Chains A and B, each alone.
Chain A
């Protein structure tokens, strides 16, 4: 009786769990998630290449930012989808850039439509133009975000996100 119940619970858990095996990146890795994550594909880390990121749910949005001239169209996966894919369990993120610049971002910022932009105006972003990844807050949706607090968290040339428990 007890065994049957346990089996049922196990089945239920299996049915609701997402695809858990994070595939190894086929192309050049662009993003590494480290820290408190459950899904890994490279030692203790989760590594993504562009196609993997672009396969995640995301959005395309036009907005003005302090660093660009006029309206610019950004597109890319939601931050929350990336964190989910890596099985992140933390309250804070340390978002690191190629030049070792890092900003602390609370995970609740991932609950809004924050994306990790992979394309600007439909084109991939080279390092010279703040690529390859840039954290873009939904300034178009919420004007309240348009201040230095979120400017500081808008990291470009992202290479790594460390999930802090």
Chain B
């Protein structure tokens, strides 16, 4: 991926700094502009102060009235006689002139006018002169007729006054003009400065906006890039996750695929061992058996690991008798230990603080067996000790197991690699001792899941001690089942018993019957739940194997009825191709004591008989046995497509070629009938009937190894079945028929 910006965001930082600087500049310019504006406004107010009287006008009026007085005076002086009217008019002129002077003295003018020295001087001179006439005019107002001499003198004086007021007017005008010019200059200057700062402010705002836009663009681009990146990451993650899941799935599938033929091999070897063979042949068979078991162990490890990786590891907590558990676990490796000349020691206190604890015995045993078999594997002519101690830590009961050997030991770098998946201490180990390198990883995961701790002490050449500490609780009832130990327990001959097989499908009936007969059992068949209830009522059995989905009455209901109506009934085991947890729960709830997934194998049937027939002996144990949680079934049904050769081989091996062929023939006959019914049912849209038909077909197909037919039937149960789907199913069945006939 290429990114359109520097990943450290240095551009953004620089742009951010620039923006801050520009903002500061803009703020400064704005402040300056504000100041300028205030100044301008203040000056303008001064200049254009509306509440001041016009000083120049008043000076002009003064000058005008002086001239008026002079004119009137000259008119009187020119006349020969003294006209009292004219004298009165002269008095009025003087009064008016006087009032103009008062205005100049009292009115509020501009500071520039009021405080100007030459103006003040002129005004004082004019005032002195005018005031000097006042006594004479006061007398004239009182009726006095002035003499010619008085009038002539006054005339001369007033002429001087007129000159003075004329000069005064000129001065005032000059002063005003100068002030106005100055003010105008100042305002123009201010305007210039304002314009300059305004343009600077504008420029800075423009730059700011451009910069912000650029920044915004970069940020938007970065956002888009991040989005793209996130998308790509999520896709990559999904791809990786899908890959990982596919890998796990593949591992699980492969393990299953290998396990099925391996089971056949082991079963065959078992059967061979039971028969009478020449001595060397018997040894060879044992080799086949032990090799097969080793292989199975490896495959189980891989399966476990893939389960753990998928987070599917689940615990089943039960009460465990620690002493018995330790003994039986150690017993399993005794044989192999002795082969290597090793001594086996169980170090356990005579009196345990808590003899029964609650834990998952199957998983615990798995861990211990792994450690023990490692110890046995890497020790020659030494001692392998299983030590058990109990102690209390922070009010919690802890169980500590130690597996100590006197074997080759591990160095420090080796210890570091120990719990990593697929690693072994060094490559030569796997060549010399074999193993997947998964064992300890699985152990660690299990111990983690049990909320415990695990560790190792080791010294090269002096042996190793693996330990684990697991918190537990005191158990009230011990329900330890044979579990994993079963494979190694020497096979006992199974007592002959009466078995009620409840199964509606003919093929399945035949397979199960053959298997059971081979295991020395007498089989009675019930075709559905109703029949089963009727038979169970009049006849006692040692074990009842119950199909789940059947016409008339299903397995759950039949179980309930039988358990309700028949006293002291035999254990009932469920057999079904539906292996969901819900189904198991439903079975347990109805009172079944076991749960077997289809297809049923000889080995599993043997196991079922061993487990439940023995328990069934003692009525006292019956109640306890019902508490036994479901036996482990294959986690998923076989998923390979097409025809399962392994299943065929198993059936042929167990039943013989002829019987197998007969079975297949029966299946195809059944299938033809089922398909006919299915086509009819599709027309009638009877959902329950369709589902039951498909279920029956699926069970029968699995039984004879036609996995793809079973698959299609099952998928049609999930989605709504269609005519086209039925066609495909029919075609598949016919294809198999042709193939098998050939």
Chain A positions near chain B (C-beta within 8 angstroms): 66-69, 98-99, 101, 126-130, 146-148, 151, 156-157
Contacts and interface: CB of A to CB of B under 8 A. Distances in A.
A15 B50 CA distance: 48
A98 B91 CA distance: 12
Contacts of B92: 98, 127
A98 B53 CA distance: 20
B96 A69 contact: no
Nearest to A69: B106
Given A66-B52, A67-B103, A151-B53, 16 more contacts: A66-B51, A66-B53, A66-B107, A66-B108, A67-B53, A98-B92, A99-B61, A99-B65, A99-B96, A128-B95, A128-B98, A128-B102, A130-B99, A146-B51, A148-B54, A157-B96
Chain B interface size, under 10 / 10 to 19 / 20 to 34 / 35 or more? 10 to 19
Contacts of A66: 51-53, 107-108
A78 B95 CA distance: 26
B107 A98 contact: no
A96 B64 CA distance: 16
Nearest to A66: B53
A148 B96 CA distance: 22
B68 interface: yes
Given A66-B107, A67-B107, A127 B54 contact: no
A156 B99 CA distance: 10
Contacts of A101: 61
Interface of B: 50-54, 61, 64-65, 68, 92, 95-96, 98-99, 102-103, 106-108
A104 B108 CA distance: 24
B65 A68 contact: no
22 contacts: A66-B51, A66-B52, A66-B107, A67-B103, A67-B107, A68-B106, A69-B106, A98-B92, A99-B61, A99-B65, A99-B96, A127-B96, A127-B98, A128-B95, A128-B99, A129-B102, A130-B99, A146-B51, A147-B51, A151-B53, A151-B54, A157-B96
A130 B98 CA distance: 10
A47 B61 CA distance: 28
Contacts of A156: 99
A62 to B, nearest CB: 17
Pairs A-B, 4 closest by C-beta atoms: A127-B95, A66-B53, A128-B98, A147-B50
B499 to A, nearest CB: 121
Q: Could you tell me the dominant secondary structure of chain A's interface residues?
A: loop
Given A69-B106, A128-B102, A148 B95 contact: no
Contacts of A69: 106
A158 to B, nearest CB: 12
A126 B95 contact: yes
A147 B50 CA distance: 5
Nearest to A128: B98
Contacts of A151: 53-54
A93 to B, nearest CB: 21
A67 B96 contact: no
Contacts of A157: 96, 99
Contact of A99 (B54, B68, B106, B107): B68
Contact of B96 (A68, A98, A146, A147): A98
A151 B52 CA distance: 10
A96 to B, nearest CB: 13
Contacts of A146: 50-51
A4 B450 CA distance: 130
Q: Find the residue from A69, A99, A147, A151 having the highest chain B CB count within 10 A.
A: A99
A157 B98 CA distance: 12
A151 B103 CA distance: 13
Contacts of A128: 95, 98-99, 102
A66 B50 CA distance: 10
Nearest to A99: B96
A157 B68 CA distance: 16
Nearest to B64: A99
Contacts of A129: 99, 102
Q: Find the residue from B92, B96, B103 having the highest chain A CB count within 10 A.
A: B96
Contacts of B96: 98-99, 127, 157
Contacts of B95: 126-128
Nearest to B52: A66
A126 B134 CA distance: 14
Nearest to B108: A66
Contacts of B103: 67, 130
Nearest to A67: B107
A127 B107 contact: no
B5 to A, nearest CB: 63
A153 to B, nearest CB: 13
Contacts of B50: 146-148
Nearest to A126: B95
